[in-house]
């Protein structure tokens, strides 16, 4: 896979920026002007996790034409898998000092650990569940939806219904996931205290590494022969099927892959924010992820990362200074981009950089992908 200038710049900025922030947090005195506060480290790590969710959405929406309004569900499931592992690590340090049951189970009067919590005492098992649970859900859901040839707005609606159903389910106390309060009060991650500055810096760098890895993986997929067929499915699904391809198989693969990517983002998100609860399943979170991609530039990969970081940076500022107008500002931004910037910010700052053409050129077969670098 050949990387162009934009790809190299993205990797350098993500990794270099994360390492620099960590060094300025750990290597400088708190009184120094160059010192980066710990809360900035935590916020930046959270933004990078959101960028993984945006990248997953762009993979299915920008290159397969699947407008998913439920990808926050996969993000939250990955977060819950990591949260369950971290809850099991609390041991006797909980409020009730019960090494076998999390505090919320003791409070609710549970006498034994549910069977689906077995195995989460081991990090390897939890890491497997981070990708397996979202992947299996996406596989079952995608198989039923794509086999039935559900497309367009109908597919968007049922993806939103999926995440809303999970929101209602995880909200119940008898589900065994903490109910409305969720999972919190984490102590350690692999033996490292989650509140320590060194741990937060390590999580920031790790988030940047995984984001870069997902970006390279997504780029490899969309620029390969598989990606060319995927783009053809996006542009003219009926013609692609007439040529002998099975569009549902291509869409199912990329849907499952994007769900796993979102799950990893959720797993890295939880130890950095210190909590996971049913609000992460809210359909509004999935809609926001779509807005990140639209603002950054759909079908560019880099634009999804840029949009996620910039909009969440703006959200942090707005919700602290003018919290009452944030949703109005976000809605106005989405309308403005839809009307005047259909290619997003990447179309403004890097108009000649795109992974695929917007429409097939006269001398180019349908779905043929190419790279144009500035």
Averaged over 280-306, what is the pLDDT? 93
Contacts of 300 (CB under 8 A, 6+ apart): 58, 62, 344, 346, 353, 354, 355
Least confident of 13-17, 68-72, 109-113, 270-274: 109-113
Q: Please state the domain extents for the chain.
A: 5-349
Answer yes or no: is pLDDT of 366 > 80.
no
**pLDDT tens, position by position, 84-96:** 999 999 988 888 8
Answer yes or no: is pLDDT of 374 > 80.
no
Q: What sections of the chain are H helices per DSSP?
A: 5-26, 38-64, 71-88, 103-107, 123-147, 152-171, 197-223, 225-235, 237-242, 247-273, 283-296, 302-321, 326-340, 344-349
| CA gap 251, 119 in Å, rounded | 32
* Mean pLDDT of all residues belonging to the chain: 89
**How sure is the predictor about 45, in pLDDT bands with cuts at 50, 70 and 90?**
very high
Answer yes or no: is pLDDT of 17 > 90.
yes
Answer yes or no: are the C-beta atoms of 294 and 232 closer than 8 Å.
no
Contacts of 243 (CB under 8 A, 6+ apart): none
**pLDDT value of residue 367:** 41
**How sure is the predictor about 325, in pLDDT bands with cuts at 50, 70 and 90?**
confident
Averaged over 280-284, what is the pLDDT? 93
Answer yes or no: are the C-beta atoms of 283 and 95 closer than 8 Å.
no
Answer yes or no: is pLDDT of 224 > 70.
yes
Say which DSSP state 35 is in. P
**pLDDT value of residue 342:** 84
pTM: 0.91
Answer yes or no: is pLDDT of 340 > 60.
yes
Percent of the chain, pLDDT > 70? Answer: 93
Q: What is the total residue count of the chain?
A: 374
Averaged over 151-155, what is the pLDDT? 91
Most trustworthy range by pLDDT among 259-268, 314-323, 334-343:
259-268
Answer yes or no: are the C-beta atoms of 353 and 373 closer than 8 Å.
yes
**pLDDT tens, position by position, 351-364:** 655 555 444 443 34
**How sure is the predictor about 52, in pLDDT bands with cuts at 50, 70 and 90?**
very high
**How sure is the predictor about 11, in pLDDT bands with cuts at 50, 70 and 90?**
very high
**pLDDT tens, position by position, 241-277:** 888 889 999 999 999 999 999 999 999 999 999 999 9
- Output the CA angle 365-366-367, nearest 5 degrees: 110
| Structure-derived torsion over alpha carbons of residues 335, 337, 343, 346, reported in degrees to the nearest 10 | -150
**pLDDT tens, position by position, 114-141:** 999 999 999 999 999 999 999 999 999 9
Answer yes or no: are the C-beta atoms of 247 and 240 closer than 8 Å.
yes
**pLDDT value of residue 373:** 36
Answer yes or no: is pLDDT of 290 > 60.
yes
Answer yes or no: is pLDDT of 365 > 80.
no
**pLDDT value of residue 359:** 41
Answer yes or no: are the C-beta atoms of 54 and 304 closer than 8 Å.
yes
């Amino acid at each position: 896979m050949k990387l162009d200038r934009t790809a190299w710049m993205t990797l350098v900025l993500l990794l270099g920026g994360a390492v620099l922030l960590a060094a300025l947090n750990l290597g400088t005195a708190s009184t120094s002007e160059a010192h980066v506060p710990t809360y900035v480290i935590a916020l930046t790590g959270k933004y990078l996790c959101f960028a993984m969710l945006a990248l997953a959405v762009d993979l299915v929406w920008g290159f397969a034409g699947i407008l998913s309004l439920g990808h926050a569900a996969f993000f939250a499931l990955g977060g819950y898998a990591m949260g369950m592992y971290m809850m099991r690590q609390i041991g006797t340090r909980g409020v009730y000092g019960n090494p076998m049951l999390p505090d919320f189970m003791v409070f609710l009067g549970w006498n034994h650990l549910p069977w689906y919590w077995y195995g989460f005492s081991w990090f390897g098992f939890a890491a497997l569940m981070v990708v397996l649970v979202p992947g299996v859900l996406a596989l079952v859901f995608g198989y039923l939806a794509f086999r039935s040839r559900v497309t367009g707005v109908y597919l968007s609606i049922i993806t939103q219904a999926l995440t809303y159903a999970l929101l209602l389910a995880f909200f119940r106390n008898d589900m065994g996931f903490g109910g409305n309060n969720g999972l919190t009060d984490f102590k350690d991650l692999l033996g490292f205290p989650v509140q320590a500055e060194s741990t937060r810096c390590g999580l920031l760098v790790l988030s940047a590494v995984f984001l870069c890895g997902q970006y390279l993986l997504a780029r490899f997929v969309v620029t390969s022969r598989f990606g060319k067929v995927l783009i053809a499915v996006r542009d003219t699904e009926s013609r692609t099927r007439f040529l002998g391809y099975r569009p549902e198989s291509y869409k199912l693969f990329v849907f499952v892959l994007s769900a796993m990517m979102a799950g990893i983002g959720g797993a890295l998100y939880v130890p950095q924010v210190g909590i996971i609860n049913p609000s992460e399943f809210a359909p509004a979170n999935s809609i926001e992820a779509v807005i990140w991609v639209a603002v950054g530039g759909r079908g560019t990969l880099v634009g999804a990362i840029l949009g996620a970081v910039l909009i969440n940076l703006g959200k942090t500022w707005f919700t602290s200074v003018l919290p009452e107008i944030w949703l109005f500002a976000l809605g106005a931004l989405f309308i403005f981009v839809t009307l005047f910037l259909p290619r997003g910010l990447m179309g403004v700052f890097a108009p000649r950089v795109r992974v695929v053409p917007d429409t097939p050129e006269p001398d180019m077969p349908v779905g043929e992908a190419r790279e144009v670098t500035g």
